[in-house]
Amino acid sequence: PSSPLYPVTPSRPPSTVSYVERARQHRWRCSDVTFHCSDGALRQQWIQTIREQLTALTSRPKHLLVYINPYGGKQQGECIYEQKVAPLFACASISTDVIVTEHANHARDHLKTEAELKKYDGVVCVGGDGMFSEIVHGLVSRTQRDNGVDQNSPEEKLVPCSLRIGIIPAGSTDCICYATVGINDPVTSALHVIVGDSQPMDVCSVHHNNTFLRYSISLLGYGFYGDVLADSERKRWMGPARYDFSGFKTFLTHHHYEGAVSFLPATDILGTPRDKTRCRAGPNLCFCSIPEYEVGWGVVRGKFLAINAASMSCACPRSPMGLSPAAHLADGTTDLILVRKCSRFNFLRHLLRHTSKDDQFDMTFVEVHRVRRFRFTPRHCQNDSELDLRENGKQLFSQICRDHPACSCSPAYSSWNCDGEILPHAAIEVGVHCQLIKLFARGIEEQPLFEDLANPPCAL
Ligand SMILES: Nc1ncnc2c1ncn2[C@@H]1O[C@H](COP(=O)(O)OP(=O)(O)OP(=O)(O)O)[C@@H](O)[C@H]1O
């Protein structure tokens, strides 16, 4: 307020209360309100009461373990944390132990083995989706080990992680942050940590022949998205432009892959991928249901341009609706999107729909299923011979085809793109683990008509 509540007495310093204020496009900001009070005892009483009220909020973290990737995105991780986040944590009386990573998988391995997790109320990563994936792998693996759960068994029920994860976006794409907060803004994310938000999230486990490969949180893609990633990895020297280049090249090569996809459908109670509703903050369809009855496995065989499993919408600034607009963050399912072999023109129509509001599944060559588990077996991979083929170098021919857009012969295998990492096997088994992790987030909030009335401010 421009005028003080009480006359200012020079011997009585003003008191400032910081609070969260909503700004446009899901952004949160920290604002201050200053009180002046001539009565010292009354002032002290106010301060004490506010402190007590805040301490009583048990959902708010008090001690955090922070990992910073100094090389993520534009290499601004340390600077973003020091300038934008650390002052807010200090203001909210949150103490931190900060580790600046020295190499890839540093955070994952530290969490898996050394980190004294009992000391903390949460883990925060400053970086992009790759860094978040490291934290998830470290935390999930540690939790299973501590509870004696064997990660190599695809049927094993995994134990949920008790610590929440905060993401301070400092990467190149920040898809997970965008999907769980609505924007990739470090201050907004820091404020979600401070107020102690909690957003559960599903995690997919990926196995090959009873061997654990990786966890996936957002997208598993074979065919188009696998080929784009594999090609872009070979062109790291091009910088971020490599994704556009490899995307265009992969589109021109137009390779299809033969195989069988078998899947365990989720029951209708969970909605369908073609619903008009979106996963949003507050009460919605995003809950873990226990299937009332087992539905049988379905099988689809054929030639596919792309096989995608989206465990969240995968919305990002480039694709505001995402790969599966109605996917939920925490309902124990993934949306399996099968794009059958079609003309280049039709595939382009399908890809362009990711950037518009039109139904991207309303095409004869696209089918989509909401599933709890699925398996993929490439046609030429009977009894695991695919690995041997690779190792024997017999894929040289495939590689030559892959690198030449004009070649009309498709290689036998693509690669799985698992949240931006290439998997070493084409034949995989995937299971969704409902609400295995929790984030310091609350999902994307609907923008209310009368913001102030709908969302009262919240003190730091
Ligand atoms: N100190 C480090 N040196 C090299 N690589 C690191 C280091 N710390 C983490 N990494 C690795 O860097 C990779 C990329 O990091 P990160 O996800 O933070 O940024 P990005 O790739 O630019 O963003 P995005 O994943 O959102 O596209 C991660 O897979 C992580 O394992």
pLDDT of residue 381: 60
Phi and psi dihedrals of 77, rounded to 5? -50, -50
Crossing angle for the helix pair 241-253 and 224-233, nearest 10 degrees?
130
Q: How far is the CA of 52 from the centre of ligand 1 (A)?
A: 40
Domain match, 183 and 275 both:
no
pLDDT 10s digits, 17-58: 899 999 888 899 999 988 888 888 888 898 889 889 988 888
CA distance 221 to 240: 20
Domain match, 304 and 211 both:
yes
CA distance 405 to 2: 66
Q: How far is the CA of 132 from the centre of ligand 1 (A)?
A: 9
The pTM score is 0.88
Residue 10 clears pLDDT 70, i.e. is over it: no
The DSSP element (H or E) to which 194 belongs, if any, is helix 186-194
CA distance 208 to 17: 54
Q: How far is the CA of 171 from the centre of ligand 1 (A)?
A: 7
* CATH number of 412's domain: 2.60.200.40
Domain match, 154 and 63 both:
yes
Domain match, 89 and 228 both:
no
Least confident of 102-106, 292-296, 328-332, 403-407: 403-407
Residue 54: HSE in the Cβ half-sphere, 13 Å Cα cutoff:
20
Domain match, 194 and 213 both:
no
The residues, ordered by sequence, that sit 6+ positions from 103 with a Cβ below 8 Å of its Cβ are none
Domain of 101 in residue numbering reads as: 1-198+440-460
**Angle at the Cα of 445 (from 163 to 273), degrees rounded to 5?**
90
CA nearest 250: which of 261, 263, 267, 235?
A: 235
Residue in 131, 168, 181 to alter for ligand 1 test, most ligand atoms within 8 A of Cβ: 131
pLDDT of residue 409: 61
Tell me the residue length of the chain.
460
Domain match, 39 and 159 both:
yes
Q: Identify the sign of the CA torsion 127, 129, 131, 135.
A: positive
pLDDT 10s digits, 228-261: 999 988 887 787 788 889 999 999 999 999 999 9
The three-class DSSP label of residue 97 is: strand
CA distance 136 to 215: 8
pLDDT 10s digits, 391-429: 444 444 444 445 555 555 667 889 999 999 999 999 999
pLDDT of residue 290: 67
Phi and psi dihedrals of 304, rounded to 5? -120, 140
Is ipTM over 0.90?
yes
CA distance 357 to 355: 7
Phi and psi dihedrals of 314, rounded to 5? 65, 30
The residues, ordered by sequence, that sit 6+ positions from 241 with a Cβ below 8 Å of its Cβ are none
Domain match, 194 and 302 both:
no
* CATH number of 84's domain: 3.40.50.10330
Nearest CA residue ID for atom 10, ligand 1: 104
CA nearest 418: which of 319, 324, 322, 311?
A: 311
CA distance 154 to 288: 19
Atom of ligand 1 nearest to the CA of 73: 22
Domain match, 406 and 456 both:
no
Domain match, 383 and 288 both:
yes
Question: Is there an atom of ligand 1 within 6 Å of 247 CB?
Answer: no
Question: Is there an atom of ligand 1 within 6 Å of 131 CB?
Answer: yes
* Count of domains forming the chain: 2
pLDDT of residue 140: 98
Domain match, 25 and 41 both:
yes
Both tokens of residue 289? 């249901």
Q: How far is the CA of 105 from the centre of ligand 1 (A)?
A: 9
Domain match, 239 and 267 both:
yes
- The 10 Å Cβ neighbour count of residue 139 is 24
Domain match, 238 and 367 both:
yes
Q: How far is the CA of 69 from the centre of ligand 1 (A)?
A: 6
The DSSP element (H or E) to which 138 belongs, if any, is helix 129-146
The residues, ordered by sequence, that sit 6+ positions from 460 with a Cβ below 8 Å of its Cβ are 17, 18, 19, 20, 30, 54, 88, 91, 92, 191, 194, 195
Least confident of 200-204, 317-321, 393-397: 393-397
Atom of ligand 1 nearest to the CA of 129: 25
Residue in 67, 68, 69 to alter for ligand 1 test, most ligand atoms within 8 A of Cβ: 69
Mean pLDDT of 332-341: 95
Catalytic residues: 129
Question: Is there an atom of ligand 1 within 6 Å of 128 CB?
Answer: yes
Mean pLDDT of 296-300: 92
